[in-house]
């Protein structure tokens, strides 16, 4: 057995080998050590190899999916090695013959299809990146849904890494295939480092473009790829490598795939990885889905709808006509309250047939997948009737297309309805899923299997009546099988003549035994009934699967149509519940938001008692396409910046937006430099990360881009930072000409308004009241005169002594200015110098008020914490020391 194991393992060195032994998948040697650590299961040993114990661990085959899920999440690949014959067959070859085994599937992060291993609300893309003729190309597919796309990469050596990282951030692949020749290429090091845990380097021969072209034409049964569009050699090579890899991992089986569709350059809004992270589009900064924009807007009721919503949010469109088509559908559902509610109620009954269909095509489906298709097709018929009840001239084009996409699958739906039970097993091999009345032969065997006692009792009563022996019994043993038994005194009543149905079988001292042809036939049927019933069910299952696969393209279109209806109606539901409005999208360079709000912050505030979100306007036009925003921290600058970027994303994905009005000229690229973080793994400080992200913006943004920048230059020395911020503002204005929001604490930048004609100053409103500062969270024209940083420090809980000291230093700095040597300030402001008092005189040693006395009178000892009390002691000690010096 170990010889067989090592031979199989040699062909799959990069995978953990799940070696089937009876009811377990066993792992040996280093695989066992790695798996036991990853799964936290017991490591044992069995047998010897080269004089050492063989490490071993195992998992039950019926619970393997749970273990596979954990291994895949930790970056392992798994080769599933099954028994290819019954152990009884192996014994026929000899008592020590080993059961034939073979790898039936390679489980990798990008090729999983099981619901237990996948996130139902997210795509799991397998992505390939390669080059050909000096160009780069991407291709990606989701094996669980059949989506298949390609995209050319328009980049030069200087921005290649940034462009590719932005594309991969949009796709968030489960696995990335890269040819070995590119794996160590200098310009791609950032990509390898960023996605190292999911990168699978493959031999360069698997990315040959001519082989890939023939492979694609063969799989999709076409003469030329021109039927699907125009593709570059790099795109074709990447797409072909995906098919090759899927076939390799599925051992010759390919799932149903849509024909490859090209995403042209500029068709979607480009958003780099840093911007996605800063804006928390699909993940919050803490790493989870909760708190992200996607979690806030998701009102979908199906898994397929949730995946489509995530894809649209990740890749907003740039074509105004395509965006308008989506918005037309949302508008219609907003107006059609009753139909929207009926449609969403029906969609809730629709299973995820996209993934069920994919499993059926690769032979890993089950009765529940058939039932899911049955239920979804039934609901599709209802939805088609619901939408068709409206006159076509009152419907937007998108809804008309959906009606056509729902098709007519009533015949297949009827077949599945009559064939399948209501309560179904997960696997076909478990049996019991074909409904009674669908197949008469199956019903007979099921009756024999399930009602054998009743049938035997019926025969016994019949024979007792025929012979007149009331004590006649029909019995069973392992030697004779079923037989009729009577006492010796009643044996003469059983006629065994030639023309009689009774046949003598055995004579005992205490009984006489007989049989009949009918009883023998029944025995044979009963003994094989369970096996024959299962065999018939499996045969019927294969026929039903074939019925489905014969209509696979139409069913796939139904699945996608249901997802689109889910997304559109969900966005309409969101618009109504959150008071969002339809944006206007065109080819202009406008960016005019009236009453804009931050969707995530507003949703969070709605759950608290902190009051409503304060809406703000934002107009970026020719005369003021660059806003310089000043004002204190905590006043809402970052929120204002982010909300305008999110409104642009929502509008171009085809959603209503959180604003009273919105007019947006299509944004080609969105850039965000908000927040601070380091990247220690690559040796980058917080300031270095800031500069890298800023460099990307200044190098790539165009006049159609939207840029939001917050606190550029604050991570270094004051004058260095001011100089960098100054230069960035000028570059954005003069070179990039982008629509931009630039928030800063460098008030000196406001002087640029006299030189930059399209820059305007704005600030966050604050109000001072009785020594306190109130943040109004409103954006107003003009520049702020203060940053109120010390007030924010006070809110954060800095010790009173530190706050007082900061106020003294600030007063001196504002009086003397920041230029020149600041060393004299330390002399003029000694540590813990006299704090302000109502009576600044210091009494002599004979008595009277001292600074210590005055400070103690200010403090309510019942209201301070132990830590504050300790700080107070240090403060008093310092005051006392200073008083002693003054008296001396």
Residue 39 belongs to domain with CATH number? 3.40.1170.10
Q: Is residue 430 part of a domain?
A: no
648 and 775: one domain? yes
pLDDT at residue 886, rounded to an integer: 66
Q: Among 621-625, 735-739, 753-757, 804-808, where is mean pLDDT lowest?
A: 804-808
Q: Is the pLDDT of residue 834 over 50?
A: no
User: Average pLDDT of 124-129?
Assistant: 95
User: In the chain, what percentage of residues exceed pLDDT 70?
Assistant: 93
Together in a domain, 679 and 745 = yes
Q: Which of 50, 75, 107 is the last residue of a domain?
A: 107
Residue 814 pLDDT grade (very low, low, confident, very high; cuts 50, 70, 90): low
Task: Please list the alpha-helical segments (H only) found in 607-750.
Answer: 637-653, 686-700, 718-731
Q: What is the pLDDT of residue 480?
A: 84
Question: Given a cut of 70, is residue 675 above it in pLDDT?
Answer: no
In the numeric block, the tokens 């893309």 are attached to: 125
Residue 680 lies inside a defined structural domain of this protein? yes
Examine the pLDDT at 308 and tell me if it is beyond 70.
Answer: yes
Average pLDDT over residues 632-661: 93
Q: Does residue 838 register a pLDDT over 50?
A: no
- Does one domain contain both 142 and 29? no
pLDDT, position 151: 94
pLDDT band at residue 477 using 50, 70 and 90 as cut-offs: confident
Place of tokens 């492979």: 215
Is residue 671 within 8 Å of 706, Cβ to Cβ?
A: yes
Alpha-carbon Rg for the chain, nearest whole angstrom, is: 38
- Within this chain, do residues 148 and 178 fall inside the same structural domain, yes or no? yes
Q: Is residue 707 part of a domain?
A: yes
Mean pLDDT calculated for residue range 300-305? 96
Query: Is 870's pLDDT higher than 90?
Result: no
Same domain, residue pair 80 and 136 = no
| Numbered residues of the known binding site | 631-638
How is residue 315 annotated by DSSP?
S
Q: What pLDDT does 271 receive?
A: 93
Domain boundary among 265, 284, 312: 265
Q: What is the pLDDT of residue 844?
A: 47
The answer to whether position 429 is within a domain reads no
Helix (H, G, I), strand (E, B) or coil at 838: coil
State the Cα–Cα distance between residues 504 and 495, nearest whole angstrom: 9
Strands of the sheet containing 512-516, edge to edge, are: 473-477, 481-486, 512-516, 502-507
Question: Please, are residues 330 and 656 in contact by the beta-carbon 8 Å criterion?
Answer: yes
pLDDT band at 768 (very low <50, low <70, confident <90, very high): low
In whole angstroms, what is the distance from residue 238 CA to residue 232 CA?
10
Task: Kindly state the percentage of the chain with pLDDT values over 90.
Answer: 54
**Is the per-residue pLDDT at 387 higher than 80?**
yes
Output the pLDDT for position 819: 44
Same domain, 142 and 217: yes
Residue 714 has pLDDT above 50, yes or no: yes
729 within some domain: yes
Tokens standing for residue 814:
């504002």
Out of 79-93, 98-112, 535-549, least confident range: 79-93
Q: Give the model's pLDDT for residue 181.
A: 86
- Tally of structural domains, the chain: 6
CATH of the domain at 665: 3.40.50.300
In this structure, is residue 340 part of a structural domain? yes
One domain for residues 102 and 124:
no
pLDDT in tens, 407-416: 999 999 999 9
Binding-site residues for ATP, in ranges, read 631-638
Look up residue 855 and give its two tokens: 């400070």
DSSP strand pairing (772-781 vs 669-673): unpaired
What is the pLDDT at residue 771? 61
- Ranked by mean pLDDT, which of 247-256, 342-351, 493-502 comes out on top? 342-351
Confidence of residue 342 (pLDDT cuts 50, 70, 90): very high
Instruction: Name the pTM for this structure.
Output: 0.81
Question: Is 825 a residue whose pLDDT tops 80?
Answer: no
**CATH number of the domain within which 483 lies:** 1.10.1420.10
Of the two residues 855 and 616, the one the predictor is more confident about is: 616
Residues 6 or more apart in contact with residue 642 via CB below 8 angstroms? 278, 279, 598, 672, 674, 708
Report the mean per-residue pLDDT for the chain.
87
Query: pLDDT per residue over 850-866, tens digit each?
Result: 677 777 777 777 778 78
Check if the beta carbon of residue 654 is closer than 8 Å to that of residue 312: yes
Q: For residue 834, give its domain range.
A: 824-887
pLDDT score recorded for residue 448: 78
Q: Which residues, including other chains, have CB under 8 Å from residue 355's CB and lie 6 or more apart?
A: 113, 115, 118, 144, 145, 303
- How many residues would you count in the chain? 888
pLDDT class of 841 with cuts at 50, 70, 90: very low
pLDDT band at 818 (very low <50, low <70, confident <90, very high): low
Residue 181 lies in a domain: yes
pLDDT at residue 473 greater than cutoff 90? yes
Q: Could you tell me if 710 and 769 lie in one domain?
A: yes
Is residue 381 in some structural domain? Answer: yes
Examine the domain organization and report whether 632 and 657 are in the same domain.
yes
830 and 761 co-located in one domain: no
Under 8 Å between Cβ of 481 and 518: no
Locus of tokens 């469109």: 317
For residue 749, pLDDT beyond 80: yes
Which two structure tokens, joined as six digits, stand for 593?
Answer: 């938001």
pLDDT (0 to 100) of residue 842: 44
Band the pLDDT of 634: cuts 50, 70, 90: confident
Pick the last residue of a domain from 555, 578, 601: 578
Same domain, residue pair 84 and 129? no
> Which token pair is 484?
């009729």
Q: What is the DSSP string of 598-643?
A: -HHHHHHHHTSSS-----EEEE--GGGSEEEEE--TTSSHHHHHHH
Q: Is 634 found in the same domain as 762?
A: yes
Q: Are 27 and 50 in contact (CB under 8 A)?
A: no
């Amino acid at each position: 057995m170990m010889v067989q194991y090592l031979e199989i393992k040699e062909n799959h060195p990069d995978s953990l080998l799940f070696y089937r032994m009876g009811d377990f998948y066993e792992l040996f040697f280093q695989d066992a050590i790695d798996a036991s650590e990853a799964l936290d299961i017991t490591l044992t040993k069995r047998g010897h190899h080269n004089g050492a114990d063989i490490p071993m661990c195992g998992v039950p085959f019926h619970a393997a999916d749970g273990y596979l899920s954990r291994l895949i999440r930790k970056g392992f690949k798994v080769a599933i090695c099954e028994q290819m014959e019954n152990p009884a067959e192996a014994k026929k070859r000899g008592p020590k013959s080993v059961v034939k085994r073979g790898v039936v599937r390679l489980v990798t992060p990008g090729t999983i299809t099981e619901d237990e291993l996948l996130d139902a609300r997210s795509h799991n893309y397998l992505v390939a990146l390669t080059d050909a003729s000096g160009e780069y190309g991407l291709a990606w597919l989701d094996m669980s849904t059949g989506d298949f796309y390609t995209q050319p990469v328009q980049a030069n050596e200087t921005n290649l890494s940034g462009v590719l990282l932005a594309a991969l951030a949009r796709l968030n692949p489960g696995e990335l295939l890269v040819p070995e020749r590119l794996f160590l290429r200098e310009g791609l090091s950032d990509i390898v480092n960023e996605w190292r845990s999911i990168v699978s380097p493959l031999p360069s021969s698997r990315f040959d473009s001519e082989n890939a072209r023939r492979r694609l034409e063969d799989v999709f049964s076409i003469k030329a790829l021109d039927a699907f569009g125009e593709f570059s050699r790099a795109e074709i090579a990447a797409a072909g490598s995906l098919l090759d890899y899927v076939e390799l991992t599925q051992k010759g089986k390919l799932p149903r795939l849509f024909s490859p569709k090209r995403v042209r350059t500029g068709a979607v809004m480009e958003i780099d990885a840093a911007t996605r992270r800063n804006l928390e589009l699909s993940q919050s900064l803490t790493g989870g889905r909760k708190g992200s924009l996607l979690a806030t807007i998701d009102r979908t009721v199906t898994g397929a709808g949730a995946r489509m919503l995530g894809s649209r949010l990740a890749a907003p469109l740039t074509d105004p006509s395509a965006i308008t088509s989506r918005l037309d559908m949302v508008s219609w559902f907003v107006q059609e309250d009753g139909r929207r509610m009926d449609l969403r109620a029906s969609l809730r009954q629709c299973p995820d047939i996209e993934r069920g269909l994919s499993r059926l095509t690769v032979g890993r489906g089950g009765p529940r997948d058939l039932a899911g298709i049955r239920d979804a097709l039934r609901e599709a018929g209802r939805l088609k009737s619901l939408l068709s009840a409206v006159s076509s001239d009152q419907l937007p084009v998108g809804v008309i297309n959906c009606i056509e996409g729902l098709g007519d699958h009533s015949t297949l739906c009827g077949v599945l309805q009559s064939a399948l039970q209501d309560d179904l097993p997960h696997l076909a091999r478990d049996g019991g899923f074909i409904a009674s009345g669908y197949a008469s032969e199956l019903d007979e065997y099921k009756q024999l299997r399930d009602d054998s006692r009743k049938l035997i009792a019926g025969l016994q009563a019949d024979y007792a009546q025929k012979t007149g022996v009331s004590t006649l019994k029909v019995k069973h043993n392992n030697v004779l099988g079923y037989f009729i038994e009577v006492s010796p005194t009643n044996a003469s009543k059983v006629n065994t003549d030639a023309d009689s149905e009774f046949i003598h079988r055995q004579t005992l001292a205490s009984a006489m035994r007989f049989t009949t042809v009918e009883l023998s036939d029944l025995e044979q049927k009963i003994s094989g009934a369970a096996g024959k019933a299962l065999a018939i069910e499996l045969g019927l299952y294969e026929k039903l699967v074939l019925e489905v696969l014969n209509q696979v393209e139409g069913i796939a279109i139904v699945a996608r149509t249901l997802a689109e209806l889910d997304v559109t109606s969900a966005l309409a539901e969101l618009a109504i519940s959150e008071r969002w409005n339809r944006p206007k999208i065109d080819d202009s360079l406008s960016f005019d938001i009236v009453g804009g709000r931050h969707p995530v912050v507003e949703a969070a505030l709605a759950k608290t008692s902190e009051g409503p979100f304060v809406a703000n306007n934002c107009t970026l036009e020719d005369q003021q396409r660059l806003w310089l925003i000043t004002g204190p921290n905590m006043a809402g600058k970052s929120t204002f910046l982010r909300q305008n970027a999110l409104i642009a994303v929502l509008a171009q994905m085809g959603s209503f937006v959180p604003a009273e009005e919105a007019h947006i000229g299509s944004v080609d690229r969105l850039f965000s430099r908000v927040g601070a973080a380091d990247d220690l793994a690559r040796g980058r400080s917080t300031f270095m990360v800031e500069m890298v992200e800023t460099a990307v913006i200044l190098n790539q943004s165009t006049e159609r881009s939207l840029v939001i920048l917050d606190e550029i230059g604050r991570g270094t020395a004051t004058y260095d930072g001011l100089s960098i911020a100054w230069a960035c503002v000028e570059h954005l204005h003069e070179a990039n000409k982008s629509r931009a929001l630039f928030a800063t604490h460098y008030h000196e930048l406001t002087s640029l308004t006299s030189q930059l004609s399209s820059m305007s100053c704005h600030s966050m409103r604050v109000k001072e009241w009785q020594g306190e500062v109130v943040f109004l969270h409103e954006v107003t024209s003009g520049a702020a005169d203060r940053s109120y940083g010390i007030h924010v420090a006070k809110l954060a809980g800095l010790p009173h002594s530190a706050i007082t000291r900061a106020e003294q230093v600030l007063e001196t700095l504002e009086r003397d200015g920041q230029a020149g040597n600041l060393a004299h300030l330390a002399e003029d402001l000694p540590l813990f110098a006299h704090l302000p008092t109502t009576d600044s005189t210091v009494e002599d040693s004979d008595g009277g008020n001292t600074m210590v006395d005055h400070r103690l009178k200010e403090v309510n000892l019942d209201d301070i914490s132990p830590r504050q009390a300790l700080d107070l002691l240090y403060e008093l000690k310092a005051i006392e020391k200073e008083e002693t010096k003054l008296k001396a």
